[in-house]
Structure 1
């Protein structure tokens, strides 16, 4: 069929200009993004023209996004040595005799490519500091990227980014975080949702920030992985939503000067009272914290977060009543 041969020829031409599915040999990021979107369209159109369903299923909507985030961030940060071996989607072949599963694979590959283009478009607009935070939070220890690839950040303060009613907070919860956070919210009263991504920091600042969030009736979400003191802020949202591709909440013991404080330390009583006020099960959070040393991290299962009301809604996985 002429239509199919034309598509195959077009796709092969794009393949020849690429080193991987994201077309890394293109001259510029604009070229790469445009080529990836075009390649995605070709695969999608081929599948539909050969009888595939119009929808491939919402479960594929975020296909590859965690991997693409690390690949693109790594390249933008000049860390290609850690990203060249990231897993790829098996490249399906275009031919006339594809069954239903084969057509679905074409659609999945199309979504994979489209998601790469979306991630690249978003990340290339971010500052190097933002990219470094994303790299440290979402990529270290993932996809074979070693912890030695950690990037030190000269600007220790968390980054606040306002997008209409949506506030993104990325970075450490440093001493003084609460003062900056409360001032920001006072200057941006339109805020309804605080999206978090942090490696943790000051428990005192986290508890104060969380109480402010609840007092103002704000919701919380996750912009990146949220570790240590960060979950204490997350659980303060009136609605506490985790969207696919499901950033992690990570817990560990409270520390002072790098050493775990004893379980009878007053800080745990403060955390317990705080959680009771929020309607979150203190036993769940405290047990999660105790399961990991300060140098380690415990990641509860998603369903556990719902049962304990640490999250009120988790996309496609569970809903807390």
Structure 2
């Protein structure tokens, strides 16, 4: 069996879609390919047969380092780990044995800090196909996940954001048959990449984006608040979303970070943090520090976007409310 463990976001889904395309080219039947969404704090799938399965882990790593090493050693050469998060690179420095794990862990395009950040999907494509040229959908996902789109033209920023809304409106989770078919087609599994899908996605994504922003404006206005979050001035809201939901509420002159949090299955919170101030802040480091000190050790991400999981009581100790928008 082939098992693909993917981070539960668009970059993780796209990365898994690329692995699926690659395996189909190797004539691996669908009956031999299984997908497992995973996030920080979630257990490793119990279905894994450590004696026989080949496992691809994309856009994600287990934490802490000793857990990752134990998992890798159980699978040996049948474990391929592809990740672009700084936390994965840091773990390899902490535990050098992880450097021998097949795959690639790299934060920047050319492996040096002078080059652009690379997304999990872009890194997966590069590792499996040994080239940086990739379908338009991979580029759109990559620019969003690494925040590279913020340095682009206003039109490109809108395109990248709209495509994210489109992905949320269709079944893009490869764990489902429709999701696998979606990525297989958009990544050119049957030939050249279907360029009509991104165009269609951008058109419908813009409409969805306009509607969602109206909804979020209401949510932020009624439920949003400012707080001192670990010494940083934050705009916070108890709602699932992304950085674009804070438009009109987050002012970089007054605020440092944006924070969303939401209860999962009545058991714990998933907390996400965002900032455009990556020249002075690294939320990946902050998330790891906060998450590992909490009641559900977890956390990591990028300088501009990161997250962790924890219980309500611990979360309440992390901030002091300054004022409400409502």
Larger radius of gyration: 1
Bigger relative contact order, structure 1 or 2 (CA pairs below 8 A, ≥6 apart): 2
The answer to whether the superposition gives a TM-score over 0.5 is no
Higher strand fraction (1 or 2): 2
TM-score normalized with structure 2 length = 0.28
TM-score (norm 1): 0.28
